[in-house]
Amino acid sequence: MTSIRARVLAPLLPLTALALLVTAAGIHASTRRDLLASFDRGVIASARSLAAGVEVGVDGTPAFDPEDLSLPELATPSPDFFYVIFGAQGQVVARSPQAPAVGAPAGSDGPRVTDGPPGFRVAVLPVVREPERDPKDVEEWQEEHPGEPLPEPEPQTLWVEVGRATKPVEQALSRLRRRLFVGFGGLFVALVLLPVWIVSRALRPLEALSRRADEIGPEDPSARLPEEAVAQEIRGLVRALNRALERLGAAYERQKRFSADAAHELRSPLAAVQTECEVALRRPRPPEELRGSLERVLCRVRKLAAMVEDLLRLSRLQNGVLPGGRGEVDLAFVASEAAALHRATAQAKGVDLEVRAEGPVWVRGDPGLLEEAVSNLVDNAVRYT
Q: Is the pLDDT of residue 247 over 90?
A: no
| Predicted pLDDT of residue 72 | 74
Q: Are residues 119 and 152 in the same domain?
A: yes
Query: Looking at 120-134, 235-249, 321-335, which range is the least confident one?
Result: 321-335
Domain boundary among 156, 175, 194: 175
| Predicted pLDDT of residue 272 | 74
* Structural domain boundaries enclosing 152: 4-175
| Predicted pLDDT of residue 253 | 79
Q: Is residue 305 part of a domain?
A: yes
Domains contained in the chain, number = 3
User: C-alpha angle with apex 68: 62 to 70, nearest 5 degrees?
Assistant: 115
| Predicted pLDDT of residue 377 | 84
Q: Is residue 226 part of a domain?
A: no
- Residue-wise burial string across 333-370, b where 16 or more C-beta atoms lie within 10 A, e elsewhere: ebbeebbeebbeebeeeeeebeeeeeeeeeeebbeebb
Q: Is the pLDDT of residue 75 over 80?
A: no
| Predicted pLDDT of residue 142 | 66
Q: Each residue of 21-41: pLDDT tens digit?
A: 999 999 999 999 999 999 999
Q: Are residues 17 and 118 in the same domain?
A: yes
Q: Are residues 21 and 108 in the same domain?
A: yes
Strand partners, 64: 54
Overall residue count recorded for the chain in this entry: 385
CATH number at residue 249: 1.10.287
| Predicted pLDDT of residue 184 | 92
| Predicted pLDDT of residue 119 | 92
The single-letter DSSP state of residue 301 is H
Q: Each residue of 272-293: pLDDT tens digit?
A: 778 878 877 887 878 887 787 7
| Predicted pLDDT of residue 169 | 95
Kindly give, in sequence order, each residue whose CB lies less than 8 Å from that of residue 98, ignoring residues fewer than 6 positions away: 77, 78, 79, 81, 82
Query: Looking at 85-99, 244-258, 349-363, which range is the least confident one?
Result: 244-258
Q: Do 49 and 69 meet the contact criterion of CB atoms below 8 Å apart?
A: yes
Cα–Cα distance for residue pair 221/252, rounded to 1 Å? 8
SS3 352: coil
Q: Do 161 and 44 meet the contact criterion of CB atoms below 8 Å apart?
A: no
Domain boundary among 299, 321, 343: 321
| Predicted pLDDT of residue 29 | 95
Mean of the pLDDT values across residues 370-380? 81
pLDDT over 70, % of the chain: 85
Query: Looking at 18-32, 51-65, 78-92, 333-347, which range is the least confident one?
Result: 51-65
Taking CA atoms, 224 is separated from 232, 256, 371, in Å, by 17, 20, 41
| Predicted pLDDT of residue 59 | 64
Cα–Cα distance for residue pair 98/119, rounded to 1 Å? 14
Burial (CB < 10 A; 0-12, 13-18, 19+), residue 375, is: middle
Q: Are residues 316 and 334 in the same domain?
A: no
Kindly give, in sequence order, each residue whose CB lies less than 8 Å from that of residue 295, ignoring residues fewer than 6 positions away: none
Q: Are residues 64 and 155 in the same domain?
A: yes
Q: Do 160 and 183 meet the contact criterion of CB atoms below 8 Å apart?
A: no
| Predicted pLDDT of residue 31 | 95
| Predicted pLDDT of residue 318 | 61
Q: Each residue of 311-338: pLDDT tens digit?
A: 676 666 666 555 556 788 888 888 888 8
Q: Are residues 103 and 159 in the same domain?
A: yes
Q: How many CA atoms lie within 13 A of 91 on its CB side?
A: 7
Q: How many CA atoms lie within 13 A of 83 on its CB side?
A: 24
Q: Each residue of 129-183: pLDDT tens digit?
A: 877 666 666 666 667 767 666 666 677 888 899 999 999 999 999 999 999 999 9
| Predicted pLDDT of residue 172 | 96
Mean of the pLDDT values across residues 236-245? 81
The rounded mean pLDDT for the chain is: 80
Mean of the pLDDT values across residues 62-67? 76
Domain boundary among 275, 296, 321: 321
